[in-house]
Amino acid sequence: MPKLLEVRDLTKRFGGLTAVSGVSFSVDEGDIFGIIGPNGAGKTTLFNVIAGHFRPTSGTVSLGGQDISGHACDEIARRGIARTFQAVHVFGAHTVRENLRRAQVLRWRHSPRGYFSSRKAVADSARLSEVAEFIGIGSVLDLPAGGLAYGLQKMLGVGMAIMVAPRLLLMDEPAAGLNSSEKKEAGRLIRRLRDELGMTILLVEHDMPLVMGSCDRILVVNRGEPLALGTPAEIKADASVIDAYLGEDYDFA
């Protein structure tokens, strides 16, 4: 069986700057796979290459055994990769429902009119309610997204990504900007996405309790280069990771 995601020797340069350098890893179906490392290490760039926002300078990305490197991002989305963004990324003047609907329709860009008159749109409206309940925003569907608390806007970003039932979800710092109880809630949501919806998740996050408590395996990157790959227990104990990122007195509680 091919791995769900296989990244091989991936490099991305911006002019003279090498943001990602020779990174390889693979993710099994049903895993929560973490990518951690200092600011500017290349984590978001790695996501941007996997999701098709940037072409790799060299190296390959395969999904379910098929090479998707350099494909356009809407083509990659159709093949089953969705993402959430590091910053809040919602249409603030539109209602929560419209935001979720928009995320759905993106897949039908070639024929939005056909979409709205289709039976699929009816089925999708049931899905919209299910997704909203799942992520805990069912009671605010008709409010403008821009008026929601920051934490709820981030949850909406997750909802928008899962509307299309992706096989692989890339989450870029889902807990950034959340308070400590919202962070715990975000961790629970990530585990439920895997356990209850069967999603495979690639998680970039600086919140170590969340990463260590949720991930099956973790890749550490530093200055674009792979530094370590292992289970949470192995990564916590890795001297090079402590030195480059975690620090001696890191508190995992």
Ligand X SMILES: Nc1ncnc2c1ncn2[C@@H]1O[C@H](COP(=O)(O)OP(=O)(O)OP(=O)(O)O)[C@@H](O)[C@H]1O
Could you list the residues that contact Mg ion (CB under 5 A)? 44
| Strand spans (E) along 97-230 | 168-172, 200-204, 217-222, 225-230
Which residues pair with residue 17 across a beta bridge?
Answer: 14
Question: Hey, what are 246's tokens?
Answer: 């975690």
Which residue in this structure is represented by tokens 């227990």? 233
- The yes or no reply on residue 154 touching ligand X (CB under 6 A) is no
Residue 111: count other Cβ atoms within 10 Å of its Cβ. Answer: 11
Q: How far is the CB of 70 from ligand X (least distance, A)?
A: 16
- What is d(CA 126, CA 239) in angstroms, rounded to the nearest whole number? 50
**Binder among 45, 104, 200, 222 for ligand X (CB under 6 A):** 45
**Binder among 42, 159, 174, 232 for ligand X (CB under 6 A):** 42
39 contact choice in Mg ion, ligand X, none (CB below 5 to 8 Å, kind-dependent): ligand X
Name residues contacting ligand X, limited to 64-103 (CB under 6 A). Answer: 86
- The yes or no reply on residue 252 touching ligand X (CB under 6 A) is no
Question: Hey, what are 172's tokens?
Answer: 């870029």
Number of residues that bind ligand X (CB under 6 A): 12
> Which C-beta is closer to ligand X: that of 24 or that of 86?
86
Q: How far is the CB of 235 from ligand X (least distance, A)?
A: 16
Distance spanning both ends of the chain, measured CA to CA = 37
- The yes or no reply on residue 21 touching ligand X (CB under 6 A) is no
For 190-224, give one letter per residue: b (16+ CB within 10 A) or e. beebbeeeebbbbbbbebbbbbbebbebbbbbbeb
Q: How far is the CB of 172 from Mg ion (least distance, A)?
A: 6
> Which C-beta is closer to ligand X: that of 60 or that of 86?
86
- The yes or no reply on residue 14 touching ligand X (CB under 6 A) is yes
* Length, in residues, of the chain: 253
Q: How far is the CB of 245 from ligand X (least distance, A)?
A: 10
User: Binding residues for ligand X, per CB under 6 A?
Assistant: 14, 17, 19, 37, 39-45, 86
